[in-house]
Structure 1
């Protein structure tokens, strides 16, 4: 009975873990540039004496969904959405280079170009700095240009270029802060083929309908495992009663 109870308990625990990850995806269904986590159950044999007749399941993260979210027009000059593969380089809280698809940019009071999460956007030589200006434009290649205060459009000048990279998906790992980094800790090289669309943002790639269906499935799996634990308890009680009667 102890093995039966152990298998049921581990199944319930892993179903709850998978539910947590699925709910995380649902919570970020409206997060700009979010990439959904991918989870899968894997079978493991129960180690120990006797025949290998027991197996249990574990929930493991298999990666993240590379599918591009829809580009939604905002009309805002500082909003940029990456068209196709690629990433925007930002400076994480630990000072290291990290990558994101969220292009909801803004300029802080000191003139540093930031994303919506407050991470400085990196250029060819550190964070991109924007001088006082009448208007800002971001080109398809990440070039940042401004029109100085009191001047006309003909005086537009380039003040920096956003670092756009495209490392292999398998080389990236998501951190607890939601940013991606290369697994080997190195900085990715700029990629001139990455293109952005100004005045648009990429939506989350979470499929809400699929996530809702999965939530229901995992809830039913959890309930099934809890019922199995109750059955194991009842069987143990019945066995104990039989032993007493003999």
Structure 2
């Protein structure tokens, strides 16, 4: 019974953890530029005192993120951009440079160009500051230009957004939803990355697939609890038989 209970217990525990991953993905089904998280189960053998595996525990682990592009959503806002194909927008955080696909940009009260979630957009020559009363346009190569509202024909280059495209195997997702290089370094700008102005990239979460995964994880959890209940009934029956024979 000991082996059955502990094996089923770990299965139920990690089925709950998988539910948490699926729930997180569903909660971000409409989050701009979100990359869904992938999770998988694996068996971990437990070695007994004689050096042989006596049982196997179940462990749920994140295997990374789904790097497929999300759908393109046209907004008509000149400050919105979407990465066309592969690539990332560099942003500055308290812990250093990070990368995002969320191209909802805006200028704060000081004119500093930021994402809607508050990260400073990294320019190839430093932060980008938008002058007051300026209409901004962003070119496919990330060049940010502005024209005064009272003189729209005269445009001035403000700077260029840093766009990067490191190998996906070198990226890891943080708790804030941003990606960083595993080695802690910063990626080099990539001139081949292109932007689409007036649009944003939607989440790549497939809600139907996630709902199916949630149902599957719930059934897996129920099965593990049923195994624990059966083990308890078997133990009670065995105790009764022993007491009768005694």
Which TM-score band applies after superposition, normalised by the shorter structure? Answer: over 0.9
Paired position in structure 2 for 1:78: 79
C-alpha distance in 2, partners of 1:107/1:132?
Answer: 10
> Which deviates the most, 129-138 or 53-62?
53-62
Aligned 8 A contact 1:133 1:146 in 2: no
Deviation at 1:52, TM superposition (A): 2.9
Name the counterpart of 1:103. Answer: 103
Residue 128 in structure 1 maps to residue 128 in structure 2: yes
Partners of 2:13 and 2:136 lie apart in 1 by 51
Instruction: Give the strand-richer structure, 1 or 2.
Output: 2
- Distance in 1, matches of 2:238 and 2:78, equals 73
For residues 156 and 239 of structure 2, the distance between their equivalents in structure 1, rounded to whole angstroms, comes to 85
- 1:88, 1:101 within 8 Å by CA — same for their partners in 2? yes
Give, in angstroms, the shift of residue 125 of structure 1. 2.8
TM-score by structure 2 length?
0.96
**For the residues of structure 2 that align with 1:197 and 1:152, how far apart are their CA atoms?**
22
After TM superposition, give the deviation of residue 49 of structure 1 in Å.
3.3
Alignment of 1:128-207 (within 5 A): 128-153=128-153, 155-207=154-206
Match in the other structure for 1:115:
115
**Contact 1:42/1:59 (<8 A) preserved:** yes
Distance 1:226 1:12 in 2: 7
- Partner of residue 243, structure 1: 242
Q: Aligned-pair distance for 1:149? A: 4.1
Deviations 1:196-225 (A, max 9, x none): 000000000001100001100100000000
Residue 91 of structure 1 contacts residue 127 of structure 1 at CA under 8 Å; is this kept in 2?
no
Deviations 1:29-58 (A, max 9, x none): 000000010111112212213653532321
Report whether the alignment pairs 1:213 with 2:206. Answer: no
SS at 2:89's partner residue?
strand
Question: How far apart in 2 are the matches of 1:242 and 1:6?
Answer: 24
The match for 1:62 is 63
**Secondary structure, counterpart of 2:214 in structure 1:** helix
Contact conserved, 2:125 with 2:160, CA < 8 A, in 1? no
Residue 150 of structure 1: CA displacement?
2.2
Runs of 4+ with >4 A deviation: none
Deviation of 1:152 (Å): 3.0
TM-score of the aligned structures, taking structure 1 as reference length: 0.96
- Distance across 2 between alignment mates of 1:102 and 1:27: 16
Q: Is this contact kept in 2: 1:132–1:149, CA < 8 A?
A: no
In the alignment, structure 1 segments of 5+ residues that lack a partner are none
Number of residue pairs the alignment of both structures matches: 244
1:90 aligns with 2:91: yes
CA deviations over 1:133-177 (Å, ceiling 9, x no partner): 331100000000000242132x10101111000011010111111
The offset of 1:234, in angstroms, is 1.1
Give the superposition deviation at 1:86: 0.3
